[in-house]
Structure 1
Amino acid sequence: MIELFSYLTLFISLGIIAFFLSLYAYVHYKHRRLLSAIFAKEDDIIITDNFSAKKAEFKLKLQRAGLTRKQFNEIVFASILAGISLISLIFIMDFSFLTELFLVVSGVAIAIFMPYIYVEEQIKARIKRIENDLPIFIDLLIIILEGGGGLNNAIDKVTTEGASVLGPDLLSESKKFKNEFITYSSDVAFTNLVNRTGSDAIATIVGFMRLSEETGIGVKSIFENQAQELKSMEMLNIEKKAATMNIGITLVMFIFILPAVIAMIAFPMAADALMPGF
């Protein structure tokens, strides 16, 4: 027990020393290239032309995840520290070879793969948030279009005054789309919107909006059809979840409730069989 307490004290002391050394290095040497890259506030890290395509693809992923480069760098830094901390346990505690191997593999995996797994999960979560807000956003556009407003005016109005009913992800994308739609050509604005969001629902709507420009079909009718389709898909998903809920409840009963009921019946019977005289 005393030896374990000594190991824990040593581990905590080393952690405190490492924290203050990292803080000192950040405060006094953040102008250096490495730490400047780690704690960069924006996408200002200089990359050679050979990596420009990869940089553009990675920046697009960050946009889809709703993260800045600074936030991603902080995630990488935290993942590396977590991996190193996990691996350092093998030098402090006395484990078996298989346990030490597991700690090393887990630490390396956390340090290398965790930031990218986090980004992918954030992309999925952001796409889901955008698609959940999309029917309400379209309904608000339809109301303004029915009142005689144009598409630019409708998007501007919803973006400005829709914060109480819409999430920040869709509102920020709407604001960027409006600015690009006014500044650049509509094709550029449509393409950037689809690339930034990565949503299939957004891509479908943009495709119909392109068709509207080419054929002269009213945007209002397109939005009405898409809003109805999105609501139907949402209702279908709810029905699927309701249909599979019974399976989940049954599985929970078999795993957690049924063994307890069997134990309540079997244990007294076993006790009577083992000790009939008592």
Structure 2
Amino acid sequence: MMYLTFFFTITLFLYGLYTLRADKKKRVKARLSSVFDKDTDQKSEPIVDEKKSRYSLKPLFQFAWKHLRKLFQRKRTNEKEEKLELKLLQAGNPFGMRTAEFRLVQLTLLILFPLACVGYGYILKMPIGGITFLVLVGVLMGIYLPHYYIKQKSKIRNHLALRELPDFLDLLTVSLEAGLGFDGAISKVVAKKQGVLSSEFHRALEEIRLGKTRREALLGVRERLLVDEIRTLMSSIIQAEKLGIGMVQVLRVQSNEVREQRKQRAEEAAMKAPIKMLFPLVLFIFPSLFIVLLGPAIIQFVQTFQ
């Protein structure tokens, strides 16, 4: 009975996450179709979906999810909320998670992992000490695994942003040389190019339209992308705007520096390759060669002395 309950709990939780994400996409499509599509047939589709959804479990999951999210939002302090929100922004908000949803997922894993460890120990008929150790391991996994996932997503995102930076700077420089303003050039590049940098600068443009200054929006990009080259670029753009220096010249210099730094990183990785190859050579290849080359000689030597 315990295994059946555990299986249903995990299944319902995963189904709730999936339906919540699908429902968000469906609502966005319904709003877009209501604005841009004027055909009566297209407008009637969301109504049919609403009738079908009355007999599904989606409203129940949405109701429980909203109340749990509100409960977690009340119990968190502002300082911790801001730090966690910044970490999620640096990771690109995976699965559209906010701070309350991340805490809820962390609590769910904190409950599921120890239960899974208890069930695993019970199946293997382990002693109490072993089951207790597995429960502690499950608790640690439930606490640190979400943070580790966010950290890895942030690293991957920063790496992708660093790879996209030279081409992004070249397109931005060409747009400025064509006569566009800085905001217009960024919007043009964002519309033509996809990636991490495009999404971040699109967010900066939206913040500028909502009332933030350009300096605050660029500082926000620098906080969300933990890359030294991007931080230097944002500082150079802010300083050029403050001192009245030509933006094209600044971006051209930054583009050349970024490409030179990428060349240096490639040379550094090439210089590290022989050292990294040394360990598998010593541990795996050299022993095999010694066995093949020296094995017959050792066997003959032993037979001669016998």
Q: How many correspondences in the alignment?
A: 257
Instruction: Confirm whether residue 19 of structure 1 aligns to residue 45 of structure 2.
Output: no
Cα distance in structure 2, aligned partners of 1:128 and 1:24: 35
2:81 paired residue number: 55
Q: 1:37 to 1:251 in 2, by over 3 A?
A: farther
Alpha carbons 1:87, 1:107 under 8 Å: kept:
no
Indicate the residue corresponding to 2:140 in structure 1.
Answer: 109
CA distance in 2, matches of 1:119, 1:46: 19
Cα distance between partner residues in 2 of 1:144 and 1:29:
50
Match in the other structure for 1:64: 90
| Letter matched to residue 191 of structure 2 | T
Q: Specify which of 217, 221, 239 is matched with residue 193 of structure 1.
A: 221
Say whether the 8 Å CA contact 1:209–1:222 is kept in structure 2: yes
- The aligned residue for residue 4 of structure 1 is none
Per-residue deviation, 1:59: 0.9
Which one of 133, 139, 154 corresponds to residue 164 of structure 2?
133
- Compute the TM-score of the two structures, normalised by the length of structure 2: 0.72
Q: Aligned equivalents of 1:49 and 1:72: distance in 2?
A: 14
Q: Using the alignment, how far apart are the partners of 2:118 and 2:288 within structure 1? A: 40
C-alpha distance in 1 between matches for 2:66 and 2:189 = 39
Report whether the alignment pairs 1:170 with 2:158.
no
* 1:87 shift after superposition: 4.0
1:206-265 deviations in Å (ceiling 9; x for gaps): 211121122110111111111111111111111111001111222221111001111223
Listed one character per residue, the Cα deviations across residues 17-42 of structure 1 (whole Å, up to 9, x for unaligned) are: 42224445865963676x5466x5xx
Cα gap change, 1:242 to 1:29, in 2 (>3 Å): same
Q: Please list every run of at least 4 consecutive aligned residues from structure 1 whose deviation after the TM superposition is greater than 6 angstroms.
A: none
Q: Which runs of 5+ in 1 are unaligned?
A: 1-12
Q: Which residue of 185, 188, 207 maps to 1:180? A: 207
Structure 2 residue 184 is the aligned partner of structure 1 residue 153: yes
Q: Structure 1 residues 238 and 97 mapped into 2: Cα distance closer, same or farther (>3 Å)?
A: farther
Partner of 1:3: none
* Range with greater deviation from structure 2 (235-244 or 71-80): 71-80
| Pairwise CA RMSD | 3.1
Does residue 209 of structure 1 match 2:265?
no
TM-score (norm 1): 0.79
Q: Structure 1 pair 37/203, CA: closer, same or farther in 2 (3 Å)?
A: farther
Pair 83,219 (structure 1): closer, same or farther in 2 beyond 3 Å: farther
